[in-house]
Structure 1
């Protein structure tokens, strides 16, 4: 009864629940794209002479096919548990903090620069809170580590690397996620403003929200991709890449500028479709909750 009362009264609780539900749907649906992205980046992370079952130039379809052959179809959903543990509360926390920030600082109608600031602030809070799960999720997906459970992953990392091991790649993660969210929110809100209100309030509303999300996701993903590559390297090979600068220099020295965009296609597809779906579901649920 207390939970029900909270849901009927608190806009923050409503935003959190709406965000969590939208995050669950999109995480389950698009997990294979995230796994493929990590595997592509893992292939170019290995030391010289190392092998990950293929060359550094492996493509998205070839990587997906290799996973299916070696680990069966459900191998594409490896890492689902940490993904859900990260994305479900993460998306809920992001939307609820974003809702509070919008209401507090810009009366619910952010301008372009305000949208960037709000997105950065909300994602930074979420990224710092959930970085241990992000590390575990990346290692699960990589195929390099063979943890049998979340508990084993936490214990192993803690024993071998100490508390710092659970925060590997935090700077790269924030440089990836915070700008992505800020840019995404700016592109999303500005794209919506160019669509006549009569269409946004019609039956076309879900499709239009999804389209705005796709446009925003494509642009934001391309800008932040280099930090995703660096983050993957730091989290998978903590002894080889002990600092953000070292990982950045390694990629440029060994692969040139193109190395920073490995895995761009699956990440762009996943982040774009996931964000678009999350925002579409979120918009519809918040409308039914009476927050719109």
Structure 2
């Protein structure tokens, strides 16, 4: 994502229709507040479940960076889990959880409110863009959300890249020193790679999600039943998220190295690319791809299915007939 969201999308999710059949249903029978509540619950659940995989991914991507805090060498996802648990304890797998939760709530709210507003305005202003308004709105809202939470993500990434539960104070002091030395703008270090990762991720994810969902819908007879919606959304979200995660992993590697490296604050994007190729070859752009895919696939599945089912439950609670926005 959504990072998540990279909702993470996160790497974050919204209800979007295929371009050919999309209709404005932002008001519907579910209020904006209820939509945000459904999204936030999914974001919190997702963060709790996938943070360990995010820690492993960050360690794998940052352990080869010159000037980064040195940690024991990890040789894959399972090796990373066993070594961290053995030497640092189980709680170390949830390093950065608080920052992740703090990121999830504002990111989700900004994304959903911004998405609905930009989508509706796009449809009103330009009829030509009407069919593709979910793509434009999703990308624009993602840019705003990423810019707002970038300082928190930088701190979380650095916290996850070091060993030991006692590293919180050291990381915080390191960030403070960075601000004193390089200015407040250094808190947005890695923002460009983050956007280059998240915006394409959103486009690939939603295109894939809608295609897969269209193929699965006949199996559920287009039912609004919560169980059927959960199954369809979960499978479509996981499958599309997996594809999008693989495609955008190079940008995730660049983002992590940009945020964790402490040797130069002014290092250029092109120099980062050359450094990766020189030290690891082109395969270095896919370092951490396995834990990233393992993290993103369930993240997307949990997020979108929680959101869809949450809206249905809110609609049932109101005793109204809810027309699902994907139909």
TM bucket (normalised to shorter chain) is 0.7 to 0.9
Query: In 2 relative to 1, CA 15–100 (structure 1 residues): closer, same or farther, beyond 3 Å?
Result: farther
Q: Of residues 53, 56, 74 in structure 2, which corresponds to 1:33? A: 53
Counterpart contact for 1:112–1:186, Cα < 8 Å: no
RMSD of Structure 2 on Structure 1 (CA): 2.9
Counterpart contact for 1:169–1:235, Cα < 8 Å: yes
Counterpart contact for 2:238–2:298, Cα < 8 Å: yes
Q: Tell me which residue corresponds to 1:219.
A: 243
Query: In 2 relative to 1, CA 16–85 (structure 1 residues): closer, same or farther, beyond 3 Å?
Result: same
Q: Tell me which residue corresponds to 1:59.
A: 76
Counterpart contact for 1:94–1:123, Cα < 8 Å: yes
In the alignment, structure 1 residue 22 sits paired with structure 2 residue 47: no
Q: Quick check: which one's helix share is greater?
A: 1
**Cα displacement (A) at 1:40:** 0.5
Matches within 5 A, 1:1-292: 11-46=31-66, 52-54=71-73, 58-106=75-123, 113-143=132-162, 146-148=167-169, 155-194=176-215, 195-196=217-218, 198-202=221-225, 203-240=227-264, 242-290=267-315, 292=324
Q: Which moved more, 1:215-224 or 1:155-164?
A: 155-164
Secondary structure in structure 1 of the residue aligned to 2:296: helix
Query: In 2 relative to 1, CA 153–188 (structure 1 residues): closer, same or farther, beyond 3 Å?
Result: farther
Query: In 2 relative to 1, CA 281–149 (structure 1 residues): closer, same or farther, beyond 3 Å?
Result: farther
Q: Distance in 2 between matches of 1:281 and 1:153?
A: 37
Q: Distance in 2 between matches of 1:183 and 1:23?
A: 20
Q: Distance in 2 between matches of 1:113 and 1:42?
A: 37
Q: Larger RCO: Structure 1 or Structure 2 (Cα < 8 Å, ≥ 6 residues apart)? A: 2
Secondary structure in structure 1 of the residue aligned to 2:221: helix
Secondary structure in structure 2 of the residue aligned to 1:21: helix
Secondary structure in structure 1 of the residue aligned to 2:71: coil
Counterpart contact for 2:40–2:108, Cα < 8 Å: yes
Secondary structure in structure 1 of the residue aligned to 2:101: helix
Secondary structure in structure 2 of the residue aligned to 1:41: helix
Q: Distance in 2 between matches of 1:246 and 1:144?
A: 27
Structure 1: state its 5+ residue gaps.
1-8
Query: In 2 relative to 1, CA 181–200 (structure 1 residues): closer, same or farther, beyond 3 Å?
Result: farther
**Cα displacement (A) at 1:157:** 3.8
**Cα displacement (A) at 1:121:** 1.7
Structure 2: state its 5+ residue gaps.
1-28, 316-321
